Every structure is written in C-alpha cells, then in structure tokens.
Amino acid sequence: MKIKLAKEEIESASIHQLQRISGEDLKKCYQCGNCSGGCPVSFEMDIAPSQVMRFLQLGKIEEVMKANSMWVCVGCLQCYSRCPKGCSVAAVLEGLRQTVLRKGEDFEKIKEIPIPFLEKAPQQAIVCGFRKLVS
C-alpha cells in the first residue's frame, strides 16, 4: 500500500492527545507482531493491533478511527501481556474509544440493545458494555 507521510500528521494534536489519554508512547512499538498473533479478535479487525500501532506511528489516525478495531477489542490484555516492549495496544484502543465517547457520541445506541439480552444477561455484561461502547 502506498501512503504519503506528513510531519504535521505524525506530530498532530490528535496523536499527542491519544498518547496523553492512553498513557502510551506509540514510538516504543517495534512491530514484532506479537500482539496481533495473541489477539483473539484480530481475525475480525479491519486493522490488526500491530498495524494500529504502525498507522498511528505514521500519524494516520483517521484510518484507525474509521476501522472497527477499537470497537471489537474485548480488552483481554493478551496484547499487553505478550508485548516485549511493554506497549498496551489495549490502552491505545481504549484511548481511541474514549476520544469518541467523551464527545458524547455513542457507538451502541441504548435503544437498540435487544430486550432479551437486557433481561437475561449478567449485570456485569451490561455495565461493562455501557462503559466500553456508550458515552
């Protein structure tokens, strides 16, 4: 894939903000791919965890924001657990979710959550789902 790099994008305010919110230094990642290998949902992600890190290192936050990766991450911390550099893709993805949710934009509309789920599911699934997907 051919992409054009720009210094302004690599050092953009949104990249800085993401690093601040997530507490992660994106440059630390050296692209070994362990996170993508260990991630149980990378098969479902538009952009796999290690690629998320690479896109962000190159300032391509728009591409990552458009991808479903942050919304299908289950927060299992397998990526962090296996990263030889101590990076937490999980925290980066949460930082991206928070960027959306803190603007008051829901990913999951409460009205659209199926009633049978709300009646039958354990409370913790509902509380956790709201935390991750609803503003």
Partner 1 sequence: MKIPYYPGCTLNTFAKSFDESARSSALEIGFEMAELKQWNCCGATFPLTPDNLIALSAPAKVLSNAGKEGDTLTTLCSVCYNVLKRTNKVMRDNREKRSTINGFIEEEYDGAVNVLHFLEVLRDKIGFDKVKAAVKRPLTGIKTGAYYGCMLLRPFEDMGIDNAERPTVFENLLKALGAEPVEFPNRIECCGAHLAMNNEEVVTKLSGNVMTSAVGSGAELIVTSCPLCQYNLEKSQDKVASRTPGYTGVPVIYFTQALGLALGQPIETLGFEKNVTDVMPLLKKKGIV
Q: What distance lies between CA 94 and its chain's CA centroid? A: 5
Amino acid occupying residue 6: A
Which residue among 84, 104, 115, 123 contacts partner 1 (CB under 8 A)?
A: 123
Q: What are the tokens at 8?
A: 């302004």
From ligand SF4, partner 1, none, interface partner of 110 (C-beta below 5 to 8 A by class): none
From partner 1, ligand SF4, none, interface partner of 122 (C-beta below 5 to 8 A by class): partner 1
Q: What are the tokens at 40?
A: 């149980």
The CA–CA distances, whole Å, from 119 to 108, 122, 130, 132 equal: 17, 9, 15, 20
Q: What distance lies between CA 64 and its chain's CA centroid? A: 8
Which residue among 11, 28, 40, 62 contacts partner 1 (CB under 8 A)?
A: 40
Q: What are the tokens at 38?
A: 């260990």
Q: Which stretch binds ligand SF4 (CB under 6 A): 4-12, 58-66, 75-83, 102-110?
A: 75-83
As a whole number of angstroms, the distance between CA 94 and CA 100 comes to 10
Note whether 116 binds partner 1 by CB under 8 A.
Answer: no
Note whether 32 binds partner 1 by CB under 8 A.
Answer: no
Interacting residue ranges for partner 1, rule: CB under 8 A = 20-23, 40-41, 43-44, 72, 74-78, 80-81, 88, 90-91, 94-95, 98, 108, 113, 117, 121-129, 131-133
